[in-house]
Chains A and B, each alone.
Chain A
Amino acid sequence: MITFDAVTKRYPDGTVAVDRLDLEAPTGEITVLVGPSGCGKTTSLRMINRMIDATEGRILLDGAPVQDIDPPTLRRGIGYVIQQAGLFPHRKIVDNIATVPHLLGWDKKKARARAMELLERVGLDPGLAGRYPFQLSGGQQQRVGVARALAADPPVLLMDEPFSAVDPIVRTSLQDELLRLQAELNKTIVFVTHDIDEAIKLGDRVAVLRVGGKLAQVADPKTLLSDPADDFVREFLGRDRGIRRLQFISTEGLRLRTDMTGDAAGPWRLVVDADGRPTGWVSRERPDELEPYGTFVRGRDPMRSALDAALLSPSGCAVAVDEDGKVVGVATRETLDEALAEAADG
């Protein structure tokens, strides 16, 4: 666990970048620091590995003040990923990844084997090992940056807007990759971003900072969306806050209709194949034509997916399926309405 204990950073020019910050980043979780540009995110992050020293207060790493640890030693135990990846241009990819094992004096073969393992782990072709960084795309470089940070298997990972400089599609895949990796590795991650969507997607806990380096709110994403602490947080969460909340509302309790496959279904009837999987909707007016359908996995997918599925089909209904893709029922406009009304209350 990383603990900020009344940490203040005042730069020599008098700028207070971080103001009496109290924050905990629990072990094995992703804690996201989010806030507008200049609110002290980078400063906070760099105080953890002592690239910047706090002016007041203490930062504890599993109870030990970081001030007591010699910086190079401290840093070799903390992975660090930044926006431009910061790869060494003069070193091949494999050597870039093996940087920290090399610093720690690992045997060359072992360091290399570890680097190759990580290259695959972050979803890169092992054939890239012998290339130089400039020969890789931005997204690939960023993956190498993550691999390099993980090379010596540090328990803590600091990430400063690591995915901000890549295009949205690549960013999404890097985010998914990080979540997949984290599910296997359970690192203590502090992730900095100015993008609230990214914060909500990645964070187990999200700390919202305001300019001047003051903590505005820290909460899990669901609570943040449903109960913003003040106008600043509400404003920062933006206009889509309501829609985003649906991401955190379960479809477990959603009422489903199971009579939509029979003849008595009404204007729309769901066609199901021999295995119980949906094939399409037919309308009473044009019984020979299959219309598109949308599905969600009940209990696993959130309300947002159910709503999305309903909007995808001219029937206005979302097909609920189980993990095998077999139809378990249908969420109609009425049942979705009920669930949304409930969400708005709760």
Chain B
Amino acid sequence: MGDGPPSIWEWIARNWDTGRVGSIKNLLLDHLTMSLVPIVLALVVALPLGLACVRWRWLYQPTSGLMNVVYALPSLPVFMLLISVTGLSQTTVIIPLTFYGMAVLIPAVVDGLASVPDHVRQSAVAMGFTPLRRLISVELPIAVPVVLAGLRVVAVSSISLVSVGALIGQGGLGGLFTRAYQNPFMPPVIVGIVLIVALALVADGLLVLAQRLLTPWVRARKGAGS
């Protein structure tokens, strides 16, 4: 074999789209699925749970306690445990990540609603909002900045945590790292790190953009430094 090891660019070109499961393109798509699904699921579940915790205050302590315990669990043994139920599938990665997301988002929803100034809530009541309408058109919109801040944390941590799934064969781009065990060949590791960081940055950027579009009244506040 007269050829030395391929350069990183050659390696990318050769492995980008091989049509096989382990191609970079497929790993990237898997990675996206396994990080986005938990983000969306966590938000969808955390919203009603957070609202319930605000409505019935006694629920909040036990719920946030439980969520903190879940958050403290190391991901690897959780994956191992879940394998017996969901096998070596993407679901095994998606479930714990969803719980991690909830652990951040439930308090974010509760804090967001708590950030509604009392006089604002009182004046909504005084003007004749029904409780549901008050929630939808006053309290939730005012909670948006806090919830979105939580969502940014969840998005970045999910995207990064997916790679741990590689240990059970479902790590998306994390798969590129495990190969490096067997063969100290650097290009896959570099490509994996760069793509994961890029994904995280893009997701965060999109959320910042969403924040600007959804809450112009917050952006304006920062701009009004005078």
Interchain nearest-CB distance for A29 vs B (Å): 21
Q: State whether the Cβ of B167 lies closer than 8 Å to any Cβ in chain A.
A: no
Interchain nearest-CB distance for B95 vs A (Å): 35
Residues in B neighbouring A99, C-beta threshold 8 A: 127
Q: State whether the Cβ of B202 lies closer than 8 Å to any Cβ in chain A.
A: no
Interchain nearest-CB distance for B115 vs A (Å): 10
Q: Which of A73, A75, A84, A85 contacts B126 (CB 8 A)?
A: A75
Residues in A neighbouring B127, C-beta threshold 8 A: 75-76, 80, 99-100, 103, 148
Residues in A neighbouring B221, C-beta threshold 8 A: 132, 134
Stretch at the interface among A18-26, A86-94, A254-262, A301-309: A86-94
Q: State whether the Cβ of B67 lies closer than 8 Å to any Cβ in chain A.
A: no
Q: State whether the Cβ of B51 lies closer than 8 Å to any Cβ in chain A.
A: no
Residues in B neighbouring A90, C-beta threshold 8 A: 141-142, 144, 215, 217
Q: Which residue of A lies closest to B143 (CB)?
A: A90
Q: State whether the Cβ of A55 lies closer than 8 Å to any Cβ in chain B.
A: no
CB atoms of B129 and A72 under 8 A apart: yes
CB atoms of A82 and B142 under 8 A apart: no
Interchain nearest-CB distance for B142 vs A (Å): 6
CB atoms of A86 and B119 under 8 A apart: yes
Q: State whether the Cβ of B62 lies closer than 8 Å to any Cβ in chain A.
A: no
Residues in A neighbouring B133, C-beta threshold 8 A: 103
With A87-B120, A89-B120, A90-B217 as contacts: A51 and B141 at CB distance below 8 Å: no
Residues in A neighbouring B36, C-beta threshold 8 A: none
Q: Which of A72, A134, A148, A158 contacts B217 (CB 8 A)?
A: A134
Mostly, the B contact residues are helix
A100 to B127, CA, bound (A): 6
Q: Which residue of A lies closest to B145 (CB)?
A: A90
With A80-B123, A134-B224 as contacts: A89 and B217 at CB distance below 8 Å: yes
CB atoms of A135 and B220 under 8 A apart: yes
Q: Which residue of B lies closest to A75 (CB)?
A: B128
Report B174-215 CB contacts with A as 1/0, cut-off 8 Å.
Answer: 000000000000000000000000000000000000000001
CB atoms of B217 and A132 under 8 A apart: yes
A158 to B123, CA, bound (A): 12
Q: State whether the Cβ of A49 lies closer than 8 Å to any Cβ in chain B.
A: yes
CB atoms of B128 and A135 under 8 A apart: no
CB atoms of B120 and A86 under 8 A apart: yes
Q: Which residue of A lies closest to B130 (CB)?
A: A72
Interface set, chain A 55-80, CB cutoff 8 A to B: 71-76, 78, 80
Q: State whether the Cβ of B153 lies closer than 8 Å to any Cβ in chain A.
A: no
Residues in A neighbouring B123, C-beta threshold 8 A: 80, 82, 85-87, 145
From A51, A74, A88, residue with most partner B Cβ within 10 Å: A88
With A82-B123, A86-B123 as contacts: A103 and B220 at CB distance below 8 Å: no
Interface set, chain A 179-194, CB cutoff 8 A to B: none
A87 to B126, CA, bound (A): 12
Interchain nearest-CB distance for A264 vs B (Å): 63
CB atoms of B128 and A103 under 8 A apart: yes
A135 to B220, CA, bound (A): 9
CB atoms of B120 and A132 under 8 A apart: no
Q: Which residue of B lies closest to A102 (CB)?
A: B137
A84 to B126, CA, bound (A): 14
CB atoms of A88 and B120 under 8 A apart: yes
CB atoms of A51 and B125 under 8 A apart: yes
CB atoms of A82 and B220 under 8 A apart: no
Q: State whether the Cβ of B138 lies closer than 8 Å to any Cβ in chain A.
A: yes
CB atoms of A100 and B128 under 8 A apart: yes
Residues in A neighbouring B138, C-beta threshold 8 A: 88
Residues in A neighbouring B224, C-beta threshold 8 A: 134-135
Residues in A neighbouring B141, C-beta threshold 8 A: 90
Q: Which 9 A-B pairs have the closest CB atoms?
A: A86-B123, A76-B128, A75-B128, A80-B126, A84-B119, A86-B119, A72-B128, A132-B217, A90-B141
7 pairs, A vs B, C-beta closer than 8 Å? A80-B123, A84-B117, A85-B123, A88-B120, A88-B142, A89-B217, A103-B133
